[in-house]
Chain A
């Protein structure tokens, strides 16, 4: 022990620093001895770097399991819920926080109970979710769907969710793990004609940046080897009282007064603004139809309300036709039809409903669905 403890003065680096010399042949790059050639970092060196980088990244990518299954906070907890309900749930609602907070499966199912549209639904909306995330979640749900001959199967898709994640989520597993080429193409389909060219470029550029991160596997091995534990609090909150994924965050103190004030200050011009659907909306339905292993799965778009609907509210066509089938578009964002919903007790904030508002929205959606299918009768037996 301690044989070599005093073998050098503590100040040895100082002695070295005073005689700086390029003395080492290092990595073949350092070479300053007279008479010897200096290797250059040329194109071929850069090419060797690039080839090795791409080959290794491709190897890792091919060896990884489905990146959707890698940890991504909130989505992982929702996928666990989906796994638990696989085989039991016949329907699911997808989308962003206004679905997560605003679609109560209990109200939806109880309204449809006793009708031919009877179903068991779950809420797979995710805080901060986007169309890109809704797409992969819905594909996962549809691919694992079992026949439910005594029930109807609905895939409820959030029409007014944002296309991409916000920039806060650009370098985040929620984004990186799902942005393959198909997602980029899907996002591109949501951009055409919808935005100014600069915003369109921004949206597409953001998707492209995300897909570069996807194909270079950023963070994926880390999440595979060292997955953060799923949040037990989220799991508990979203499953108690048979909530099936639906959850409204608790209101901060004084929230009711704040909402009432915002409502009183919001102009109530109630101007309808006609909307059209984008190619990406059609493409998603088509992709889901092809992915479904069971017949008679009904795909539905729905629109969630916002407080600003009191000024201008969107008006969508009643349905779209995709591959010969009709997809109904339901909208609760209609202050002209549902004036009672636009009262402060039904709102958590200007974009999210309160628990009583969520129950109301579940009921309205079920009612609209019932009405639409009465007008367009077809087999509701899932899997027949």
Chain B
């Protein structure tokens, strides 16, 4: 059941809202318990078999969290439990996500001659595994509190984020679940949530699903598509990926808001980024936060400590030396992005995607650290040029991300370079559509800006138009706007099942 399925929209969601209103009358525990139960139902609709895996994972990790908490003050025991917990989680994830692809790789290179078969990847396994590992790590470091089982179950399974994120951090969700407040329908939150959800639904159904055919073309048969067709397809994929995943994230944020639970934003106009560092602070923001906290920072700190033990400096000044930069920034950065690439999938193309971004980020940090802000080199790259350069780098990464194999990706690059000729396979109207979408992502405000829900310390993104502050008297116009928008959305609804791209991760 996806968020766009009629069964979800017209049965599951109304039941959840209604049930939340009823159970909320009996207090926090019953409301949270009800949402947890419905989230398990949501997952079971996909697979009852893997529901056992999800429940098993939750019970295992909750037990680990109790053991880690009980061992407080005994560092060795805590470390042992933590290591056991993390290793078990990674083994489970590795079995489902990487084990069989690895065996197939061995067969492909001639190290094995067996047909190893395959195993179905449980929906959302990466997301619920990482969420729980983070909780265990923070608990062992005293950065998290012990939670009741009922809150923990909802934290892990809450259906808006269960299958494709955002990757929640316990510090932003647990306080909301602990808070003794009125649990029930808050019309204001339902209004905001519905609008947020609707905008996400439009992004997915109107834009992403309609350009699937365009976006699939260069990867389906790259050798028979010329320069223009390949560029068109690669740009279409950039739009599809953004509108699909940011649409999903908007829907998740909106759904959570209907139950007065606030999720972190996952997108903040990433294609407006003027650098790759900026891009990763705007694209899949919760993943960036996760890998920064649990991969990059520990590695960078470890390298710094190592330098200090060796009698070297680890200060900001030290980062400006070749050795310091390599150890404290470049190595952790490239390793982190390498692992992020593997997280996306078991294939060489995903490793190259991660490595490409690791190298981009490293180059960007070289620029940031070694080129003074007021130098003429900086003036050579004004913001619009930075945006275009960043976008071009992102496109290259996305070719690896989308391609079914490295060979396929290289063939697409050949097409982009014009080595397959100019070729047929495109129409001017298709370019106009992609140009219109690029205009939207580059000059229009994003969802949270439109809804006036940005974080107070967020700088507004550059936009051609500024969303005005809505007034209560505008409500008729708003209702009319949504009425018209829904009519257009239905007419633009491509018929057929197209799951969200990030469901595969």
Q: Which A positions have Cβ atoms within 8 angstroms of B?
A: 1-8, 10-14, 16-18, 20, 22, 24-32, 37-39, 41, 44-46, 48-57, 60, 171-173, 176, 216-223, 225-226, 228-229
Judge whether B490 and A52 touch: CB under 8 Å. Answer: no
Judge whether B213 and A52 touch: CB under 8 Å. Answer: no
Judge whether A29 and B455 touch: CB under 8 Å. Answer: no
Additional A-B contact list (15), CB under 8 Å, known A16-B456, A39-B475: A3-B383, A7-B459, A13-B172, A17-B264, A26-B453, A29-B478, A44-B476, A48-B476, A49-B480, A49-B483, A53-B483, A53-B486, A218-B490, A219-B494, A219-B495
> When each residue 199-221 of chain B gets 1 if its CB lies under 8 Å from chain A and 0 otherwise, what string results?
00000000000110110000000
Judge whether A17 and B176 touch: CB under 8 Å. Answer: yes
Judge whether B491 and A221 touch: CB under 8 Å. Answer: yes
CB-defined contacts of B191 to chain A, threshold 8 Å: 26-27, 29-30, 41
CB-defined contacts of A12 to chain B, threshold 8 Å: 455, 457-458
CB-defined contacts of B293 to chain A, threshold 8 Å: 10-11
Judge whether B495 and A17 touch: CB under 8 Å. Answer: no
CB-defined contacts of A3 to chain B, threshold 8 Å: 274, 373, 383
Judge whether B493 and A218 touch: CB under 8 Å. Answer: yes
Given contacts A25-B470, A48-B479, A219-B494, contact A2 B364 (CB under 8 A): yes
Interchain nearest-CB distance for B314 vs A (Å):
18
Given contacts A27-B191, A49-B482, contact A2 B491 (CB under 8 A): no
CB-defined contacts of A37 to chain B, threshold 8 Å: 472
Residue of B nearest to A227 (CB): B213
Residue of B nearest to A50 (CB): B483
Residue of B nearest to A58 (CB): B487
CB-defined contacts of B195 to chain A, threshold 8 Å: 26-27
Contact of B483 among A10, A28, A48, A221 (CB under 8 A): A48
Q: Which 7 A-B pairs have the closest CB atoms?
A: A52-B483, A29-B191, A13-B264, A17-B172, A56-B487, A2-B275, A221-B491
CB-defined contacts of A60 to chain B, threshold 8 Å: 487-488, 491
Residue B464 CB within 8 A of the other chain: no
Given contacts A29-B191, A60-B491, A221-B491, contact A46 B479 (CB under 8 A): yes
Q: How far is the CA of A326 from the CA of B483 in the complex (A)?
A: 51
Q: How far is the CA of A44 from the CA of B492 in the complex (A)?
A: 27
Judge whether B264 and A14 touch: CB under 8 Å. Answer: yes
Contact of B169 among A14, A39, A51, A223 (CB under 8 A): A14
Most buried by B among A10, A24, A48, A221: A10
> When each residue 274-291 of chain B gets 1 if its CB lies under 8 Å from chain A and 0 otherwise, what string results?
110110010001001100
CB-defined contacts of B264 to chain A, threshold 8 Å: 13-14, 17
Contact of B452 among A24, A38, A46 (CB under 8 A): A24
Q: How far is the CA of A220 from the CA of B386 in the complex (A)?
A: 39
Q: How far is the CA of A217 from the CA of B455 in the complex (A)?
A: 38
Residue B262 CB within 8 A of the other chain: yes
Judge whether A52 and B481 touch: CB under 8 Å. Answer: yes
CB-defined contacts of B433 to chain A, threshold 8 Å: 225
Q: How far is the CA of A172 from the CA of B495 in the complex (A)?
A: 6
Judge whether B470 and A28 touch: CB under 8 Å. Answer: yes
Given contacts A6-B277, A17-B173, A28-B470, contact A48 B480 (CB under 8 A): yes
Interchain nearest-CB distance for A71 vs B (Å):
10
Interchain nearest-CB distance for A66 vs B (Å):
15
Given contacts A12-B457, A29-B192, A51-B480, contact A20 B176 (CB under 8 A): yes
Most buried by B among A44, A48, A60: A48
Residue of A nearest to B172 (CB): A17
Residue B74 CB within 8 A of the other chain: no
Q: How far is the CA of A50 from the CA of B175 in the complex (A)?
A: 39
Residue B171 CB within 8 A of the other chain: yes
